[in-house]
């Protein structure tokens, strides 16, 4: 791969990208969907055709070029469209683009639909779309989408005569087509003054943001004549109004769902049992929750593969995963990629050390450690592991405590520390840990690569300093194959990480949205606006 010089702007953008990816699972809200909510204003029955959705925290800015809060993603889907969308079966379907042609791994040509208009009736021009990609690709704009949904070396051109937009990159971008599904297309006025989009909308989507009370509620009203949604979906059967209410308590959200004051809310904790018993409709996606990452730079005991193997042999990961998810989890099959996964496969079974305390002791012995009393020593040093994990949620804390107990049962000394969703990058980006529990979730396989290769922070995002030649070789092979053609190599690259115990995903958690009085569908954890119906 070609090397590039990292400027301070690039470094800031990379760390923002890292924060956006890990924030999917290191905050109380595990997806871009809502966490909780409250009623108010008469509830969903207060106006005909109104749906009220619980929101666990205020989204902050709604500017689609700058929004880093996960809640903003689900809200912006109501006001903005993308060139393509991902269907429930993982296939790419038309959006603002009616068709496209993929040219290798560095160019996609999109043919735009006719008749697409902004919320104020202004036609969306071909050049308007190209300008979006070029704006994000310009480092001076410091968009957190740079490197996440728009490759760093992107250039977009427009041909008004043929109504085509061509997006190219100088470096390989095998998933360039799918990445475009994450770019919300704003209208010309919004792009010219992005700051105005913080509390307003200017897009081609099925709804227009009409009322904003930060920290309380956001109201969207349906626009007329919308016919260019995913795969040509319209909004004629969608509710007339959608209100997002802000209240962080899951218990409150569950109460309001049961009383009919909320139509939709995400509930992950114990309150979900009440909702299930009441027979509320639900939609779920699985996201990676349990994952152990090892520090492999010199000076860390976990730089030794034998020690990493010993630590995993010592753990009953099935038991720990059950505690972490309240018994709702399922064993992970690979790294944290949003459903529907582009390259579905079971990359974990048979590729990680099994629970075996005797084998754990044998691995430590092979690494030169000697059992001494209640612990292990080597060259006059006692084996001590520094373990850092997320400080949110009773179930996660209990699972982390169980992990520590099982290591101590082997005779390993353990010290612990915690991080929050906002401090993860600084804590795990430092050097004061040996094992960390940060679940990384992303949309596409190549978005996870920087976490397991390349430089450590602040130059990069390789928190553990992983240096796995087989993984790097297989990633390089995958990156010269367009889209799903590289799946065999992407999956083999994951297996290479697991076989060397560089990272250990062990449990996925169902992220569930409950609904009452509505039908809805989720796309990667977010509500699909054109599929939302008031019963």
Q: What are the tens digits of pLDDT across the range 138-159?
A: 999 999 899 889 999 999 999 9
Is residue 331 within a helix (H) or strand (E), and if so which, with residue range?
Answer: strand 330-331
Report, as an integer, the average pLDDT of 438-452: 92
In this predicted structure, the answer to whether residue 93 has a pLDDT above a threshold of 70 is: yes
| Nearest of 486, 500, 420, 418 to residue 452 by alpha carbon | 500
Report, as an integer, the average pLDDT of 401-429: 94
Two tokens, residue 343: 């390259």
- Confidence (pLDDT) at 19: 39
| Nearest of 22, 75, 54, 81 to residue 438 by alpha carbon | 22
Q: What is the CATH number of domain 82-183?
A: 3.90.76.10
- Confidence (pLDDT) at 68: 66
Cα–Cα distance measured from residue 409 to residue 326, given in angstroms and rounded to the nearest whole number: 23
Q: What percent of the chain has pLDDT over 70?
A: 91
For 371, phi and psi rounded to 5 degrees?
Answer: -65, 125
* Helices of type H across 278-382: 305-313, 317-325, 357-366
In this predicted structure, the answer to whether residue 43 has a pLDDT above a threshold of 70 is: no
Helix crossing, 469-478 with 487-499: angle to 10°? 170
Distances (CA, A) of 424 to 168, 379, 390, 392: 33, 33, 8, 12
How many of the other CB atoms lie within 10 Å of CB of 291?
A: 21
Mean pLDDT of the chain: 89
- Confidence (pLDDT) at 430: 94
Please report the sign of the dihedral spanned by the C-alpha atoms of residue 432, residue 434, residue 437, residue 443: positive
For the stretch 379-411, pLDDT in tens is: 999 999 999 999 877 899 999 999 999 999 999
Confidence of residue 46 (pLDDT cuts 50, 70, 90): very low
User: Are the CB atoms for 456 and 297 separated by under 8 Å?
Assistant: yes
For 235, phi and psi rounded to 5 degrees?
Answer: -115, 15
For 82, phi and psi rounded to 5 degrees?
Answer: -125, 170
User: Are the CB atoms for 177 and 84 separated by under 8 Å?
Assistant: yes
- Confidence (pLDDT) at 470: 98
> What CATH superfamily classification does 287-510 receive?
Dipeptide-binding Protein; Domain 3 (3.10.105.10)
Weakest mean pLDDT among 16-25, 106-115, 236-245: 16-25
Give the 3-state DSSP-derived string for 389-403, with helices as H, strands as E and coil as C. EECCCHHHHHHHHHH
Confidence of residue 48 (pLDDT cuts 50, 70, 90): low
Instruction: Count, in order, helices (H) and strands (E) of the chain.
Output: 14, 26
- The label of the residue with tokens 């629970």 reads 355
- The label of the residue with tokens 């081609």 reads 204
In this predicted structure, the answer to whether residue 10 has a pLDDT above a threshold of 60 is: no
Report, as an integer, the average pLDDT of 485-505: 98
| Nearest of 465, 319, 341 to residue 402 by alpha carbon | 319
Helix, strand, or coil (residue 76): helix
Helix crossing, 394-409 with 317-325: angle to 10°? 160
- Confidence (pLDDT) at 405: 98
Q: What share of the chain is helix, strand, coil (3-state, %, to 5)?
A: 30, 25, 45
User: Are the CB atoms for 16 and 8 separated by under 8 Å?
Assistant: no
Weakest mean pLDDT among 66-75, 160-169, 267-276, 413-422: 66-75
Q: What percent of the chain has pLDDT over 90?
A: 79
For the stretch 119-133, pLDDT in tens is: 999 999 999 999 999
Two tokens, residue 273: 């049992």
For the stretch 271-330, pLDDT in tens is: 989 999 999 999 988 999 999 999 999 999 999 999 999 999 999 999 999 999 999 999
Sequence-ordered list of residues with C-beta below 8 angstroms from that of 196, at least 6 positions apart, any chain: 189, 190, 202
Confidence of residue 425 (pLDDT cuts 50, 70, 90): confident
Two tokens, residue 507: 């449990």
**Comparing 515 with 66, which gets the higher pLDDT?**
515
- The label of the residue with tokens 């990156």 reads 479
Confidence of residue 161 (pLDDT cuts 50, 70, 90): very high
Confidence of residue 44 (pLDDT cuts 50, 70, 90): very low
Two tokens, residue 382: 């006692």
- Confidence (pLDDT) at 15: 34
Residues of each domain in the chain carrying CATH 3.90.76.10 = 82-183
Weakest mean pLDDT among 391-395, 478-482, 500-504: 391-395
**Comparing 35 with 480, which gets the higher pLDDT?**
480
- Confidence (pLDDT) at 31: 33
- Confidence (pLDDT) at 371: 95
Cα–Cα distance measured from residue 478 to residue 96, given in angstroms and rounded to the nearest whole number: 28
For the stretch 234-288, pLDDT in tens is: 999 999 999 999 988 999 999 999 999 999 999 988 898 999 999 999 998 899 9
How many of the other CB atoms lie within 10 Å of CB of 97?
A: 25
Confidence of residue 51 (pLDDT cuts 50, 70, 90): very high
Residues of each domain in the chain carrying CATH 3.40.190.10 = 31-76+194-280+516-535
In this predicted structure, the answer to whether residue 336 has a pLDDT above a threshold of 90 is: yes
Is residue 298 within a helix (H) or strand (E), and if so which, with residue range?
Answer: none
- Confidence (pLDDT) at 445: 95
* Residue 81: half-sphere exposure toward Cβ, Cα within 13 Å: 32
In this predicted structure, the answer to whether residue 20 has a pLDDT above a threshold of 50 is: no
**Comparing 525 with 306, which gets the higher pLDDT?**
306
> What CATH superfamily classification does 31-76+194-280+516-535 receive?
Periplasmic binding protein-like II (3.40.190.10)
Residues of each domain in the chain carrying CATH 3.10.105.10 = 287-510
For 488, phi and psi rounded to 5 degrees?
Answer: -60, -40
């Amino acid at each position: 791969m070609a090397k590039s010089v990292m400027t301070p702007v690039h470094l800031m953008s990379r760390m923002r990208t890292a924060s956006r990816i890990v924030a999917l699972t290191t905050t109380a809200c595990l997806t871009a969907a809502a966490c909780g909510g409250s009623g108010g204003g008469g509830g969903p029955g207060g106006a005909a055709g109104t749906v009220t959705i619980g929101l666990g925290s205020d989204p902050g800015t709604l500017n689609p070029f700058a929004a880093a809060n996960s809640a903003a993603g689900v809200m912006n889907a109501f006001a903005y469209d993308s060139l393509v969308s991902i269907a429930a079966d993982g296939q790419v379907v038309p959006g603002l683009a009616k068709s496209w042609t993929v040219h290798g791994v560095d160019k996609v040509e999109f043919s735009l639909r006719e008749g697409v208009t902004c919320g104020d009736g202004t036609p969306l021009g071909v050049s308007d779309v190209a300008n979006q990609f070029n704006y994000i690709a310009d480092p001076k704009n410091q968009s957190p989408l740079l490197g996440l949904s728009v490759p760093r070396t992107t250039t977009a051109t427009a041909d008004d005569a043929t109504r085509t937009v061509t997006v190219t990159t100088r470096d390989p971008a095998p998933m360039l087509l799918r990445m475009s599904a994450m770019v919300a297309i704003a209208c010309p006025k919004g792009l010219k003054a992005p700051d105005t989009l913080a509390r307003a909308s200017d897009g081609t989507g099925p709804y227009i943001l009409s009322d904003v009370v930060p920290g309380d509620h956001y109201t969207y009203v349906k626009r007329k004549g919308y016919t260019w949604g995913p795969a040509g979906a319209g909004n004629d059967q969608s509710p007339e109004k959608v209100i997002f209410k802000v209240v962080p308590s899951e218990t409150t959200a569950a109460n309001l769902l049961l009383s009919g004051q909320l139509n939709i809310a995400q509930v992950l904790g114990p309150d979900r049992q009440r909702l299930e018993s009441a027979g509320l409709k639900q939609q779920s996606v699985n996201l990676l929750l349990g994952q152990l990452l090892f520090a492999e730079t010199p000076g860390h005991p976990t730089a030794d593969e034998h020690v990493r193997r010993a630590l995993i042999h010592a753990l009953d990961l099935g038991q720990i995963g059950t505690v972490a998810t309240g018994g709702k989890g399922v064993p992970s099959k690979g790294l944290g990629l949003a459903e529907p996964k582009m390259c579905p496969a079971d990359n974990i079974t048979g590729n990680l050390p099994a629970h075996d305390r005797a084998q754990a002791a044998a691995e430590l012995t092979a690494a030169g450690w000697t059992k001494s009393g209640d612990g292990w020593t080597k060259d006059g040093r006692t084996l001590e592991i520094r373990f850092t994990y997320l400080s949110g949620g009773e179930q996660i804390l209990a699972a982390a405590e169980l992990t520590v107990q099982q290591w101590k049962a082997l005779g390993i000394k353990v010290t612990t520390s915690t991080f929050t969703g906002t401090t993860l990058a600084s804590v795990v980006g430092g050097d004061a840990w040996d094992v960390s529990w940060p679940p990384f979730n992303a949309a596409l396989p190549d978005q996870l690569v920087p976490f397991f290769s390349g430089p450590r922070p602040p130059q990069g995002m390789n928190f553990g300093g992983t240096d796995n030649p087989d993984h790097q070789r297989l990633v390089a092979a995958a990156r010269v194959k367009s889209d799903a053609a590289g799946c065999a190599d992407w999956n083999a690259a994951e297996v290479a990480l697991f076989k060397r115990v560089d990272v250990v995903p062990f449990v996925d958690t169902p992220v569930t949205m409950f609904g009452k009085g509505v039908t809805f569908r989720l796309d990667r954890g977010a509500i699909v606006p054109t599929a939302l119906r008031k019963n």
